Amino acid sequence: MAANDIPKVAVVGVGIWGRNHARNHAEIGSLAAVVDKDPEVAARIAGQHGVPVRSFEDVLADPAIEGVAFALPPSQNLPLGRQALEAGKHLFVEKPLALNSRQGEELVALADKAERRLMIGHILHYHPAFVALADLVREGRLGRILSCVSHRMDLGRIRREEDALHALGTHDVSMILRLMGEAPCSVSATGGWHTHPTIADTTHVAMDFPDGRAAEIRVSWLHPFKEQRLVVIGEEAMAVFDDLQPWETKLVLYRHRFGERDGQPFQEKGEPEPVAVEPGEPLKRECLHFLSCIRSGETPLTDGREGLRVLRVLEEASASLAGQARAKAYARMRAASHLE
């Protein structure tokens, strides 16, 4: 994309994560303005990149700004997203797409009506190691995929605006849906409420797919060490995407095989084979993809409909968690009444 053809974008919300969007768009040459409710934060980030601080209304009224990138609380994505789309802006929203699938469906419909691109910040789809893993699966090098197991855990920031599943597990749901190629036929979840009675600190999600395939996701912000690992088991080989490893070993292929021979189970182990991956910042690739979709009119890889599929899985998992939480609360109440 020639420098004079790069679409201009305003970043709305330049807090902990939004400032990274501002940095990347500035490096690309696409940053036109920043918007934030905190004037001091907005002025600092804008000053770092030599762009103005503007109001959201000013951004929407400026025809030179073709896109807006939201790094906002999910509750703001629909009301502000509606304004942006109706003003003719292409829209990028950080995950999740919206608070719930009903709101997500409305955003998708608005984008369709306005003929604007709607892209969701499922950043790991743009991670070079995950791109290579998805290619392995697409090319059939793992054989038929049987299961995926993802761990995303750390002794990290404890949230009060969302539970561990929504804070940490959204990307894992998104990656697994892409690798499996379809929605699960059932979703269940269990959790642990250790620091708050209604906000789960740890979650285990089980997803069942057609033909007996399965996936598991474990997330926690109460874990003694950091873990970011996705394991994919295929009939012909296995692969591990471990984002904490150096680039040379972020993606490793294992040609382990197993099955039944002469009525007996067998295993054949293969040596680990690192898969060559070209290093690159996933967020920059994500920003470039958004700009490319604005200019070309192509559908983003992580478009609104992909965001909806992820939201629906999260909703099923949340409903399962809520049922468990109610059962635990009832058990505590019963136990307390017996002690009186």
Same domain, 134 and 110: no
In a domain, 335, yes or no: no
Per-residue confidence (pLDDT) for residue 71, from 0 to 100: 97
Concatenate the DSSP letters of all residues of 56-105 into one string: HHHHHH-TT--EEEE-S-GGGHHHHHHHHHHTT-EEEEESSSSSSHHHHH
Same domain, 133 and 229: yes
Query: pLDDT digit of tens for each residue in the chain (340 aa)?
Result: 666 799 999 999 999 999 999 999 999 999 999 999 999 999 999 999 999 999 999 999 999 999 999 999 999 999 999 999 999 999 999 999 998 999 999 999 999 999 999 999 999 999 999 999 999 999 999 999 999 999 999 998 888 888 899 989 999 999 999 999 999 999 999 999 999 988 999 999 999 999 999 999 999 999 999 999 999 999 999 999 999 999 999 999 999 877 777 777 878 788 899 999 999 999 999 999 999 999 999 999 999 999 999 999 999 999 999 888 676 665 666 666 665 5
**For the chain, what is the domain count?**
2
CATH number for the domain that contains residue 9: 3.40.50.720
Same domain, 24 and 77: yes
Residue where a domain stops, chosen among 116, 146, 176? 116
Cα-trace Rg, the chain: 22
The two beta strands, 145-153 and 186-192, are unpaired
Calculate the alpha carbon distances from 192 to 81, 157, 328, 329 in Å: 34, 16, 10, 12
In a domain, 329, yes or no: no
How big is the CA angle at 70 (ends 38 and 292), to the nearest 5 degrees? 140
In a domain, 226, yes or no: yes
Which spans in the chain are helix H?
18-28, 39-49, 56-61, 77-86, 101-114, 128-138, 164-168, 170-180, 282-296, 304-339
Per-residue confidence (pLDDT) for residue 258, from 0 to 100: 77
Tokens for 187, please give them: 């979703």
CATH number for the domain that contains residue 239: 3.30.360.10
Same domain, 75 and 144: no
Same domain, 254 and 177: yes
Distance of CA 259 to the CA centre of its chain: 34
Tokens for 316, please give them: 């099923």
Q: Which domain holds residue 247?
A: 125-282+315-321
Structural contact between residues 174 and 94, judged by C-beta atoms closer than 8 angstroms: no
In a domain, 187, yes or no: yes
In a domain, 299, yes or no: no
In a domain, 9, yes or no: yes
The predicted-structure confidence for 305-322, as pLDDT tens digits, reads as follows 999 999 999 999 999 998
The predicted-structure confidence for 168-199, as pLDDT tens digits, reads as follows 999 999 999 999 999 999 999 999 999 998 89
Same domain, 132 and 266: yes
Same domain, 180 and 251: yes
Phi, psi of 69 (to 5 degrees): -120, 120
Residue where a domain stops, chosen among 116, 149, 181? 116
Same domain, 100 and 149: no
In a domain, 333, yes or no: no
Same domain, 139 and 191: yes
Residue where a domain stops, chosen among 73, 93, 116? 116
In a domain, 271, yes or no: yes
Distance of CA 2 to the CA centre of its chain: 29
Tokens for 162, please give them: 């969302």
Per-residue confidence (pLDDT) for residue 160, from 0 to 100: 84
Q: Write the single-letter amino acid at 113.
A: K
Q: Identify any residues that bridge with 232 across adjacent strands, giving them in sequence order.
A: 148, 239
Same domain, 130 and 278: yes
Per-residue confidence (pLDDT) for residue 105, from 0 to 100: 97
Cβ-based neighbours of 148, under 8 Å, separated by 6 or more: 175, 176, 179, 180, 215, 216, 230, 231, 232, 233
Same domain, 63 and 156: no
Same domain, 172 and 108: no
